[in-house]
Amino acid sequence: MERATMALAFLLAALAASAGANPVNKSCVTGSAGASVSIGYGGAGASAGAGVSLDADCPRAEEIVRAAVEQAVAADPRMAASLLRLHFHDCFVNGCDGSVLLDDKPFFVGEKTAGPNINSLRGFEVIDAIKAELEQECPETVSCADVLAIAARDSVVASGGPSWEVETGRKDSRTASLQAANSNLPAPTSGVATLVQKFTNVGLIAKDMVALSGAHTIGKARCTTFSARLASVGESAKDTGFLQSLQQLCAGSAGSALAHLDLATPATFDNQYYINLLSGDGLLPSDQALAAPAGSGAEDVAALVADYAFDAALFFDDFAASMLRMGRLAPAGGRDAGEVRRNCRVVN
């Protein structure tokens, strides 16, 4: 923890020197918005389509997805976080197979009514519109799982974050698992040990967990997801003002009010999330826990938080690398199991 302690002291000194300024990203190194990150992972055993390109069979596919995402985010900046979250919730349940998009039908139960998803996931209509245009352009070629992966990347770029080359070639599942959606996805109240275990269960590591948690630099959350944070008002002088403002927001809303996950730069994909954690201003209990873990195993979680708070370029690189690793999580049947759905909500 020595590295984290030294980094925290340096960062807080820098923040103190700029006290009184508007709440903007104060990281020492600024990442380049939309900068392309080139990373290779040849031979990944769990590949969901590494090395497969859409150039030959549907050359306009990524252009179509990008244009639709940019339009959706321009109309509703929160949509960037929503589309990114859809990809996460897809990959964490039996691999990146588009199962999160399937609707409930008679004799078929999807994942949309799982606890972490119901009244929470959004952006399905954006995916529907993208898929409809792709089916006109190149029928039964681009899977819904690939649409989610590309849309997640384009959402990050549209918000000022890094770009990376999305690996394609995934197939869509014919099944879904409500049980796995309820058990596999991390809860907003999880501690560090639980978070690390959830990521380990799907084949990722603690470093991926810390980097991918940085997605909470954009988006919003309901009061019900961070009520445990409000119970600690007064326990620490560092975050008292922040928590009191949240109490005022949530009072009388029956838990339905929305708060920005990153109050300082809510619509910008940057490393402000980690700076917030060091200041005690993480919104979700699972976020704030990253800044002060108690025995997180081989990976020094708190040190990574401090590193990313200092160095936005490092965060951008690691986030892109972890997105690629997560995007390779494949169903048990492998990358060739499944189909390319014509409609993302139903099997063919």
Residues known to be catalytic: 89
- 260 among annotated binding-site residues: no
- 97 among annotated binding-site residues: yes
- 62 among annotated binding-site residues: no
Q: Which two tokens stand for residue 170?
A: 């995934």
Beta strand 220-222 pairing with 258-260: antiparallel
- 265 among annotated binding-site residues: yes
- 186 among annotated binding-site residues: yes
Least Cα distance to 114 among 180, 189, 185, 178 occurs for 178
The answer to whether 223 and 285 have CB atoms below 8 angstroms apart is: no
Q: Which two tokens stand for residue 96?
A: 């990146």
Q: How far apart are CA 32 and CA 45, in angstroms?
A: 31
- 69 among annotated binding-site residues: no
The answer to whether 278 and 309 have CB atoms below 8 angstroms apart is: yes
Q: Which two tokens stand for residue 188?
A: 């907003």
Least Cα distance to 153 among 54, 75, 45, 36 occurs for 36
- 192 among annotated binding-site residues: no
- 200 among annotated binding-site residues: no
- 93 among annotated binding-site residues: yes
- 146 among annotated binding-site residues: no
Contacts of 303 (CB under 8 A, 6+ apart): 1, 3, 4, 7
- Which residues carry a binding-site annotation for heme b? 216
- Which residues carry a binding-site annotation for Ca(2+)? 90, 93, 95, 97, 99, 111, 217, 262, 265, 270
- Which residues carry a binding-site annotation? 90, 93, 95, 97, 99, 111, 186, 216-217, 262, 265, 270
